[in-house]
């Protein structure tokens, strides 16, 4: 069997340069990850992370130093589910330690079926009872707020925030511990994205 012909060094060098130039062409402005990134479609501020729940149809930004454990529980009446996030502020190792290191809190994000409700007032009147901390918003004074791209949003008298999307109603219930969730999440309501 004849031996293979040697490839000249000049040809190999030319091939290496062509491959390197092709790899640096601006066909894509940035590398695209091969695995979908959680909250990757959000425009979070530098140093923040995104959280996305595709089943619930919402996503939001949160501080990069937060670590969380999540638990989900189904709800029968109204139909939907509650997602509880136990949050701990743990910024060490990223940007240095802060006075709030180790502060904790938890929040519950409830996602319910909208059903045939035409607006928040009618959904609340049908689905929230006095035992759940709210009654008819026409008597309790639901305060209108802006919350991401929700069709309609408000703040219930007990402090919970409620949003109406085309298919769901989302309730954000912040339970502050040493971590001030009202400040941290209240200032990030504009980062929420409700998918349709």
Please compute the mean of the pLDDT values over residues 130-153 and round it to a whole number: 72
CA atoms within 13 A on the CB side of 87: 26
Q: Which of 2-11, 52-61, 62-71 has the lowest mean pLDDT?
A: 2-11
Assigned domain for 17 exists: no
Q: Is residue 9 part of a domain?
A: no
Helix/strand/coil for 89: strand
**What's the half-sphere exposure (Cβ side, CA atoms, 13 Å) at 44?**
19
Sheet of strand 48-53: strand arrangement: 48-53, 58-63, 193-194
pLDDT at 14: 43
Whether the per-residue pLDDT at 136 is higher than 70: the answer is: no
Residue 28 has pLDDT above 60, yes or no: no
What gap in Å lies between CA 164 and CA 156, rounded to an integer?
A: 13
Alpha carbon distances (Å) from 13 to 24, 54, 165, 180: 17, 48, 59, 60
Q: How many domains does the chain have?
A: 1
Q: What percent of the chain has pLDDT over 70?
A: 68
Q: Tell me if 15 is assigned to some domain.
A: no
User: Could you tell me if residue 174 is inside a domain?
Assistant: yes
| CA 107 from centre of chain | 13
Instruction: Find the DSSP H helices in the chain.
Output: 9-23, 120-127, 137-140, 181-186
With a pLDDT cut of 90, the percent of the chain lying above it is: 46
Residue 120: inside a domain, yes or no?
Answer: yes
Q: Greater confidence, 41 or 56?
A: 56
Query: If pLDDT is split at 50, 70 and 90, which confidence band does 185 have?
Result: very high
pTM here is 0.72
CA atoms of 27 and 40, how far apart (whole Å):
21
Tens of pLDDT, residues 147-157? 999 999 999 99
φ/ψ of residue 21, rounded to 5: -65, -40
Residue-wise pLDDT for 95-128, tens only, equals 556 667 778 899 999 999 999 999 999 999 888 8
Residue 25 belongs to a domain: no
- Residue 170 forms part of a structural domain: yes
Burial 2-26 (b: 16+ CB within 10 A, else e): eeeeeeeeeeeeeeeeeeeeeeeee
In a domain, 56, yes or no: yes
Q: Which structural domain range is residue 86 located in?
A: 33-194
Average pLDDT taken over every residue of the chain: 77
Confidence of residue 177 (pLDDT cuts 50, 70, 90): confident
Peptide bond into 98 cis (omega under 30): no
Q: What is the CATH number of the domain that holds 155?
A: 3.40.1000.10
Of 32-36, 46-50, 59-63, least confident by mean pLDDT is 32-36
């Amino acid at each position: 069997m004849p031996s293979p012909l040697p490839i000249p060094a000049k040809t190999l060098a030319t091939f290496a340069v062509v491959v390197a130039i092709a790899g640096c062409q601006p066909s894509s402005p940035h590398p695209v990850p091969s695995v979908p990134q959680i909250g990757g479609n959000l425009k979070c501020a530098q140093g923040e992370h995104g959280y996305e729940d595709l089943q619930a149809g919402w996503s939001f930004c949160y501080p990069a130093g937060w670590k969380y454990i999540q638990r989900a529980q189904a709800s029968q009446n109204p139909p939907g589910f509650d997602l509880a996030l136990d949050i701990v502020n743990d910024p060490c190792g990223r940007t240095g330690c802060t006075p709030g290191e180790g502060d904790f809190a938890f929040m519950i994000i409830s996602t319910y079926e909208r059903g045939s409700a035409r607006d928040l007032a009618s959904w609340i009147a049908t689905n929230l009872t006095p035992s759940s901390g709210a009654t008819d918003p026409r008597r309790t004074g639901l305060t209108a707020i802006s919350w991401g791209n929700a069709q309609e949003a408000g703040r219930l008298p007990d402090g919970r925030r409620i949003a109406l999307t085309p298919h769901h109603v989302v309730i954000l219930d912040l339970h502050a511990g040493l971590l001030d969730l009202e400040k941290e999440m209240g200032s990030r309501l504009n980062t929420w994205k409700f998918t349709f």
